[in-house]
């Protein structure tokens, strides 16, 4: 079975970054874009890049982790970070082809999109429908 | 000290003369009294400039103050206030932008930044959480706003830093220059020149700290409801599909209050006369959006994006929007949409206020047509109404103070008319030096009062009353007659207080139909835990507005400055649905009396001691010598 993931359509993105703030509110109950599991970058000509985990079939982050802190979640079938095991070494960050895994500046652990355990909240606030799911 | 919930908790004071900074905690009493955004900025500016100083004096600060809710990701709460003493009006200056720099400052740990001093050589300031760096910007000086933003992000090596920059217009101290926040502007009152005089080319901000609401669970519970209200409101489709100019045809054909050719006409007669049956007027988004708009662009945390990205050949710009369709369109008699978009882009790249630039050029066009300016004065430019190429050349001349024309127009219409003389002040369309926005207030008398009294000069956003007046009802107001000068004092006062509150919270004024005042306490309380009600919040708005008035009084303003352009008070709208309407001087006097009374000010427009004490501003009452 292919892994579930967010579908992104950057051409529709308006750059509002609602997804970014909602992501950190839901996960951390604070707002802090540097702790978000989804990021928006303004490029030239009002293009916006949406950076979020593509839930690779063969995830480089899983392979790169020296302490096996990233595992495939049984139910969700996506890579998830076990923050208790994670040492924050950053090997996953280096390995990710989409640059969609980060080290949280507060906890110093790796963070990536976990699809809000199956009910991604960012999708609900993307009025432009640049991020969809399912 | 425990950090105040809902606040980043610090105010950053920067002295660029000494290249030093200090950080001061936000006290709870201060936060409750002024909330944030314009509230913080107003009080800080008032306290810093107690005497009359030149706007380019090193002591005059540039204050950057995101709204209380800015950064929390609450839909449409995203604005950041820039404040200073305006070099254009000489009075209180507020300019509000939907820039990423507002939220970024919060994440860096600051509710407000105050920058004083001046440098000899160009610098940019990089605020990176607790670190404040002063970096050389000689190689950025002269670059357009867009190039500057790109170069900054390259140099810092992070495309996510937020920036506020000036273009050549600000560097050349044009009094109608603006500050550009990643192609959203703090446009009005000439703040680009304040940065230019300080030799600050740009400010870059990166933050990685938590912004913590008082009651996160309550906020999470409220977010879906607020989101739903935004996207299901009838105005959603208008904003998203057509942008801010959705009603431009209605303003022309139903109301006749769309100013054309420097307020010589109240609707775009020439443009409509050319149309064949069923065709749309070229400035109407119903015409140009399907043809040229490639995507929408939003302010931070806005779910109803009104920015239309316009693309034509090698030109790409966010805009035009309602105001520039007037100033760089109707006001100059230009109805070619590609030219208007080009003009809008030039203003953005040079860092010019598109409203002020267009109105100033419109004035020059009228001078040219009347023979008060000749080709010799315009450096050979055929500066006639409708000549789009001439308008584009004039914009460039203004930004670079180039030639005779540039030198004449670079400081806005008031100064230009004073320099030229020959009776041209009679059709210089400004109040307190700030050029009028896109409403022919001769046919919108409550708005005429609002632009006359606004603390920053002719402005549509200080009271944001045009909708109420033009539709005839809004919020607690009904049966409003736009052509009457009766009972406007209270109406203007309440709108001003509410809008000051919006600027304190960082809420977009395009969302006023969704939130009014009554929906705000629940949100403010979830963020801060202040447990305040609507009346309390409205009082904060009133308090802020009174301090702005007190600031202007200390800078030398009197009742005489609460006036309207000569044309608005003497030349009736010649044709169209508002034909014959104008604001007689006697009507303005009456409206002013009524307004001051509604405000609890003296007949001279000075806040009374009673009013200021009621607003817990006794210190200010003493300082401005308020009687009674």
- For every residue of B342-400, which 3-state class applies, written as one string? HHHHHHHHHCECHHHHHHHHHHHHHHHHCCCCCCCCCCCCCCCCCCHHHHHHHHHHHHH
List CB contacts of B592: < 8 A, sequence separation 6 or more: B449, B452, B453, B559, B562, B605
Q: Which of A20, A32, A107 to mutate to test the interface with B (most CBs of B within 10 A)?
A: A32
Q: Please give the backbone phi and psi of residue B338, each rounded to the nearest 5 degrees, phi first.
A: -65, -35
The domain limits of chain A are 6-133
Mean pLDDT value of segment B391-405: 98
Structure-token pair, residue B607: 């806040």
Reference B448, options B417, B491, B408, B412; nearest CA is B491
What is the C-alpha to C-alpha distance for residues A89 and A79, in angstroms, rounded to an integer?
17
| Residue B5 CB neighbour total at 10 angstroms | 17
Mean pLDDT value of segment B163-178: 98
What is the C-alpha to C-alpha distance for residues A8 and A51, in angstroms, rounded to an integer?
9
Pick the CATH number of B241-429 from 1.10.443.10, 3.40.50.300, 1.10.569.10, 3.40.1390.40: 1.10.569.10
Q: Please give the backbone phi and psi of residue A63, each rounded to the nearest 5 degrees, phi first.
A: -70, -35
Residue of B nearest to A126 (CA): B303
pTM here is: 0.98
Residue of B nearest to A43 (CA): B159
Mean pLDDT value of segment B331-338: 98
User: Are the C-beta atoms of B436 and B429 separated by less than 8 Å?
Assistant: yes
% of chain B with per-residue pLDDT over 90: 99
Cβ distance B210 to A44 less than 8 Å, yes or no, reads: no
Cβ distance A16 to B183 less than 8 Å, yes or no, reads: no
For every residue of B454-478, DSSP letters joined together read -TTSS-SSSS--HHHHHHS-BTTB-
Q: How confident is the model at residue B365 (pLDDT cuts 50, 70, 90)?
A: very high
Q: How confident is the model at residue B625 (pLDDT cuts 50, 70, 90)?
A: confident
Cβ distance A32 to B208 less than 8 Å, yes or no, reads: yes
Q: Name the residue facing A18 among B107, B297, B303 (closest C-beta).
A: B303
The domain limits of chain B are 10-206, 241-429, 441-564+584-624
Chain A: nearest CA to B333, how far in angstroms?
Answer: 29
Mean pLDDT value of segment B579-595: 98
Size of interface A-B (CB pairs under 8 A): 104
Per-residue DSSP letter, B528? H
Q: Name the residue facing A25 among B216, B298, B318 (closest C-beta).
A: B216
Within 160-189 of B, beta carbons closer than 8 Å to A belong to 160, 182-183
Q: Name the residue facing B304 among A20, A44, A127 (closest C-beta).
A: A127
A interface with B, Cβ–Cβ below 8 Å? 11-12, 14-18, 20-22, 25-26, 28-35, 39, 41-46, 105-106, 124-125, 127-128
Q: How confident is the model at residue B627 (pLDDT cuts 50, 70, 90)?
A: confident
Cβ distance A46 to B207 less than 8 Å, yes or no, reads: no
What is the C-alpha to C-alpha distance for residues B414 and B209, in angstroms, rounded to an integer?
45
CATH of domain A6-133: 3.30.70.20
Reference B454, options B412, B509, B500, B415; nearest CA is B500
Which pLDDT does position B628 carry in this prediction? 83
Mean pLDDT value of segment B199-211: 98
B246–chain A Cβ distance below 8 A for any pair:
no
Mean pLDDT value of segment B270-281: 97
What is the C-alpha to C-alpha distance for residues B75 and A109, in angstroms, rounded to an integer?
29
What is the C-alpha to C-alpha distance for residues B593 and B603, in angstroms, rounded to an integer?
6
Which pLDDT does position B60 carry in this prediction? 98
User: Are the C-beta atoms of B608 and B628 separated by less than 8 Å?
Assistant: yes
Q: Which fold has domain B441-564+584-624?
A: 1.10.599
Which pLDDT does position B3 carry in this prediction? 78
Reference A34, options B101, B127, B209, B152; nearest CA is B209
Q: Name the residue facing A34 among B208, B220, B318 (closest C-beta).
A: B208
Q: What is the mean pLDDT of chain B?
A: 97
Q: Please give the backbone phi and psi of residue B558, each rounded to the nearest 5 degrees, phi first.
A: -135, -175
User: Are the C-beta atoms of B447 and B441 separated by less than 8 Å?
Assistant: yes
Q: Please tell me whether the interface predicted TM-score (ipTM) of this complex is above 0.90.
A: yes
Residue of B nearest to A20 (CA): B73
For every residue of B202-248, DSSP letters joined together read EEEEE----B--S-HHHHHHHHHHHHHHHHHSHHHHHHHHHGGGTTH
Longest alpha-carbon distance in chain A: 42
Q: Name the residue facing A41 among B160, B304, B307 (closest C-beta).
A: B160
Longest alpha-carbon distance in chain B: 70
Mean pLDDT value of segment B125-129: 98
Kindly tell me if the per-residue pLDDT of B284 is higher than 70: yes
Pick the CATH number of B10-206 from 3.40.30.10, 3.30.420.40, 3.60.9.10, 2.70.98.40: 3.60.9.10
Structure-token pair, residue B368: 């040219």
Q: Please give the backbone phi and psi of residue A53, each rounded to the nearest 5 degrees, phi first.
A: -55, 130
Reported as a single tens digit per residue, the pLDDT across A76-86 is 999 999 999 99
User: Are the C-beta atoms of B583 and B568 separated by less than 8 Å?
Assistant: yes
Q: Which helix (H) or strand (E) holds A25?
A: helix A18-28
Q: Name the residue facing A125 among B150, B227, B305 (closest C-beta).
A: B227
Q: How confident is the model at residue B2 (pLDDT cuts 50, 70, 90)?
A: low
Structure-token pair, residue B50: 């107690």
Structure-token pair, residue A103: 């080290």
What is the C-alpha to C-alpha distance for residues A2 and A13, in angstroms, rounded to an integer?
25
Question: How many Cα atoms occupy the beta-carbon half-sphere of B545 within 13 Å?
Answer: 28
What is the C-alpha to C-alpha distance for residues B40 and B29, in angstroms, rounded to an integer?
12
Provide the phi-psi class of B363: left if phi over 0, else alpha when psi is between -120 and 50, else beta. Answer: alpha
Kindly tell me if the per-residue pLDDT of B1 is higher than 60: no
**Looking at beta carbons, which residues of chain B come within 8 Å of A15?**
297-298
Mean pLDDT value of segment B562-577: 98
B226–chain A Cβ distance below 8 A for any pair:
no
Mean pLDDT value of segment B11-15: 98
For every residue of B130-153, DSSP letters joined together read TEEEEEE-TTTTT--HHHHHHHHH
Cβ distance A44 to B150 less than 8 Å, yes or no, reads: yes
B308–chain A Cβ distance below 8 A for any pair:
no
Which pLDDT does position B626 carry in this prediction? 85
Q: Name the residue facing B219 among A11, A25, A45 (closest C-beta).
A: A25
């Amino acid at each position: 079975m292919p892994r579930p993931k967010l579908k992104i359509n950057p051409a529709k993105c308006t750059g509002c970054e609602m997804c970014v703030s909602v992501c950190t509110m839901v996960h951390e109950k604070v707002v802090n874009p540097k702790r978000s599991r989804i990021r928006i970058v303004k490029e030239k000509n009002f293009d916006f890049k949406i950076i979020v985990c593509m839930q690779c079939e063969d995830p480089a982050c899983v392979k790169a982790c020296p302490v096996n802190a990233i595992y495939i979640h049984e139910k969700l079938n996506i890579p998830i970070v076990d923050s208790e095991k994670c040492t924050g070494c950053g090997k996953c960050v280096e390995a990710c082809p989409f640059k969609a895994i980060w080290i949280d500046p507060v906890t110093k652990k790796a963070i990536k999109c976990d699809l809000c355990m199956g009910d991604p909240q960012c999708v609900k606030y993307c009025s432009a429908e640049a991020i969809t799911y399912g | 000290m425990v950090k105040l919930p809902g606040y980043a908790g610090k105010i950053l004071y920067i002295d660029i003369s000494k290249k030093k900074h200090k950080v001061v905690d936000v006290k709870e009493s201060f936060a409750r009294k002024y909330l944030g955004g314009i509230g913080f900025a107003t009080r800080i500016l008032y306290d810093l400039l107690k005497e009359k100083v030149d706007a380019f004096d090193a002591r005059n600060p540039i204050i950057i103050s995101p709204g209380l809710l800015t950064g929390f990701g609450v839909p449409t709460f995203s604005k950041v206030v820039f404040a200073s003493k305006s070099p254009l009006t000489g009075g209180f200056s507020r300019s509000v932008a939907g820039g990423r720099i507002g939220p970024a400052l919060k994440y860096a740990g600051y509710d407000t930044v105050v920058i004083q001093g001046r440098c000899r050589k160009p610098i940019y300031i990089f605020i990176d959480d607790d670190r404040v760096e002063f970096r050389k910007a000689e190689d950025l000086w002269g670059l357009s706003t867009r190039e500057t933003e790109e170069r900054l992000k390259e140099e810092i090596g992070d495309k996510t830093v937020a920036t506020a920059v000036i273009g050549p217009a600000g560097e050349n101290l044009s009094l109608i220059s603006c500050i550009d926040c990643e192609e959203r502007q703090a446009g009005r009152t000439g703040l680009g020149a304040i940065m230019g005089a300080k030799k600050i080319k740009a400010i870059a901000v990166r933050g990685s700290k938590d912004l913590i609401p008082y009651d996160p669970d309550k906020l999470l519970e409220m977010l879906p409801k607020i989101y739903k209200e935004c996207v299901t409101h009838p105005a959603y489709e208008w904003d998203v599909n057509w942008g801010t100019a959705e009603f431009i045809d209605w303003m022309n054909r139903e109301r006749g209050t769309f100013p054309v050719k420097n307020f010589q006409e109240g609707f775009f007669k020439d443009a409509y006369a050319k149309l064949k049956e069923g065709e749309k007027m070229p400035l109407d988004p119903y015409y140009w959006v399907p043809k040229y708009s490639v995507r929408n662009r939003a302010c931070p945390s806005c779910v109803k994006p009104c920015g239309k990205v316009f693309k034509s050949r090698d030109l790409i710009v966010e805009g035009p929007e309602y105001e520039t369709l007037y100033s760089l369109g109707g006001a100059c008699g230009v109805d070619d949409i590609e030219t208007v978009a080009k003009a809008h882009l030039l203003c953005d790249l040079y860092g010019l206020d598109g409203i002020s630039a267009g109105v100033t050029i419109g004035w020059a066009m009228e001078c040219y047509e009347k023979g008060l300016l000749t080709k010799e004065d315009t450096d050979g430019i055929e500066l006639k109404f409708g000549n789009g190429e001439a308008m584009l050349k004039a914009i460039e001349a203004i930004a670079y103070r180039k030639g005779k024309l540039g030198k004449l127009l670079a400081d806005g219409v008031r100064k230009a008319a004073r320099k030229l003389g020959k009776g041209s002040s009679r059709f210089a369309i400004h109040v307190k030096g700030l050029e009028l926005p896109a409403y022919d207030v001769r046919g919108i008398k409550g708005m005429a009062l609002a632009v006359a009294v606004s603390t920053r000069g002719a402005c549509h956003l200080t009271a944001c009353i045009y909708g109420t007046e033009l539709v005839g009802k809004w919020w607690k107001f009904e049966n409003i007659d736009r052509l009457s000068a009766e009972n406007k004092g209270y109406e203007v006062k309440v709108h001003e207080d509410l809008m000051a509150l919006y600027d304190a919270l960082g809420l977009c004024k395009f969302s006023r139909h969704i939130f009014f005042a009554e929906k705000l306490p629940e949100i403010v309380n979830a963020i801060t835990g202040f447990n305040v009600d609507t009346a309390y919040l409205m009082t904060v708005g009133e308090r802020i507005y009174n301090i702005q008035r007190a600031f202007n009084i200390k800078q030398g303003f009197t009742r005489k400055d609460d006036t309207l352009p000569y044309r608005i008070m003497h030349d009736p709208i010649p044709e169209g649905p508002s034909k014959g309407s104008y604001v007689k001087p006697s009507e303005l006097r009456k409206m002013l009396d009524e307004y001051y009374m509604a405000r609890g000010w003296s007949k001279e427009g000075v806040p009374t001691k009673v009013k200021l004490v009621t607003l817990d501003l006794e210190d200010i009452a003493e300082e401005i010598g308020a009687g009674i």
